[in-house]
Amino acid sequence: MIAQKKEFGMIYFDLDRFKLVNDTLGHMIGDLLLSEVAARLYHVLGKKDVLARLGGDEFVLLTENYKQEEMRQLSTSILSCFQAPFILEGNEVYISASLGLCSYPRDGKDAENLFKNSDLAMYSAKEQGRNAACFFTDELRAKMNRRMEIEFALQKAVRDEELKVALQPIIDLKTKSYRGVEALLRCSTKEGPISPSEFIPIAEESGLIIQLGDWVLEKSCRLFKTLPAYRDGLRLSVNISIQQLMQNRFITSVRSILKRTDFPANRLILEITESVAVRHFDYIISILQELRNMGVLIALDDFGTGYSSLYYLKQLPLDIVKIDRNFIREFHYDYAQTERTIVKSVIEIAHSLNLVVVAEGIETVEQESLLKSMGCDYVQGFYYARPLTIVELREKLLTDL
């Protein structure tokens, strides 16, 4: 088609979580699934459409229907092939696909660029939640280029020690005394700072998050120990990702870091988000229990943003619940009665389970006053202090003593 300079559309796609089918049901079932997928696809394709399997679970479709609306309709037909389960040797298998769409010559004038751009579009579809189709655009190219820049910058930052740890104080609402600090990773390169909201997701997808997580934990422990001796009661909170928890050596890594830094386990709080806690629930429980057996405290971060229920609070081996800042942001206004009710209920439930409650994102005296009246234990936020360098934190501790 390219040799004939004839316009055409390309749809590049693979099966979502196909590896899981192979790992759980075996490669024979995986091969049967690929055959059944191809059979269903042929029923929705036109006579001049060309479908090819590139290897594994990857397919490419070339079609004369290159206009966007035509390709959108075709992609909808392809996705419909995956709505019904596949019955394979008595196994009922549900699977979906992610599609990347581009056209010649608008999105690429040779095969290499067409494959590259349709691949970018496919991974954008996966980011949207899978079982979706995404067109290649110049904006998508710019976004992906930015992602690669950040990934390279992260690798360089690790190598050149451009990463920093910021520390945000956690305050006792009753006594207004310092009870701990949360360690937050910061990346500042020669080109300027990179927002955590940008680099954390990329670090997770690239696998760098494990190396970064270990670095943050060890660096934070070493920094924390340089604080004045009279702050011995303070505790250090460090965020942990799902990738760290799921690696086989995680417990060993934590134990080694504590030993190398001579950091007492009972002064360390590891924070996990509720979405992390729910995924691989039984496995996570065993890991968290082993950490607690070492003396490490466990906090459930961003409570209320995902799947949490009383069941998870009761089953997870927790010490602390952190209420997400989204519930706090406007709950002191009259129209935010729902938010106030939720926050008060969370505090009461947590206390009934002997859990300490920390509210995040406090920015006003009104928020502080309401939380105090509800019996919240600890707070953190810009009202008290932004994330500080270790030098700034030492000065603040001395000033506020």
Question: Are β-strands 235-239 and 178-189 bridged in parallel, bridged antiparallel, or unpaired?
Answer: parallel
CATH number at residue 102: 3.30.70.270
Please indicate, yes or no, whether residues 267 and 288 belong to a single structural domain of this protein: yes
Distance from C-alpha of 173 to C-alpha of 272, rounded to nearest angstrom:
23
Q: Which domain-ending residue is among 74, 105, 136?
A: 136
Please indicate, yes or no, whether residues 87 and 159 belong to a single structural domain of this protein: no
Calculate ∠ Cα 273-275-279, nearest 5°. 120
Strands (E), 207-309: 235-239, 268-273, 297-303
Please indicate, yes or no, whether residues 233 and 99 belong to a single structural domain of this protein: no
Question: What pLDDT score was predicted for residue 5?
Answer: 65
103: left (phi over 0), alpha (psi -120 to 50) or beta: beta
Distance from C-alpha of 224 to C-alpha of 274, rounded to nearest angstrom:
26
Most confident residue range from 43-57, 138-152, 274-288: 43-57
Please indicate, yes or no, whether residues 109 and 157 belong to a single structural domain of this protein: no
Please indicate, yes or no, whether residues 291 and 365 belong to a single structural domain of this protein: yes
Task: Count how many domains the chain has.
Answer: 2
Residue 148 has pLDDT above 90, yes or no: no
**Count, residues in the chain:** 401
Please indicate, yes or no, whether residues 236 and 319 belong to a single structural domain of this protein: yes
Please indicate, yes or no, whether residues 184 and 218 belong to a single structural domain of this protein: yes
Please indicate, yes or no, whether residues 246 and 165 belong to a single structural domain of this protein: yes
**How do residues 153-187 score in pLDDT, each as one tens digit?**
888 887 877 789 999 999 999 999 999 999 999 98
Whether residue 141 lies inside any domain: the answer is no
Please indicate, yes or no, whether residues 82 and 192 belong to a single structural domain of this protein: no
Please indicate, yes or no, whether residues 47 and 156 belong to a single structural domain of this protein: no
Give the structural domain span for 120.
8-136
Residue 70 has pLDDT above 70, yes or no: yes
Please indicate, yes or no, whether residues 96 and 208 belong to a single structural domain of this protein: no
Asked if residues 398 and 178 have their Cβ atoms less than 8 Å apart, the reply is no
Q: pLDDT: is 93 or 157 the higher one?
A: 93
Q: How far is CA 161 from the centre of its chain?
A: 24
**How do residues 207-241 score in pLDDT, each as one tens digit?**
889 999 999 999 999 999 988 754 668 999 999 99
Asked if residues 181 and 224 have their Cβ atoms less than 8 Å apart, the reply is yes
% residues pLDDT > 70 (the chain): 95
Question: What pLDDT score was predicted for residue 187?
Answer: 86
> At 4, is the pLDDT very low, low, confident or very high (cuts 50, 70, 90)?
low
Q: Any residues with CB less than 8 A from the CB of 380 and at least 6 apart, and which?
A: 168, 169, 170, 171, 182, 358, 359, 360, 361, 362
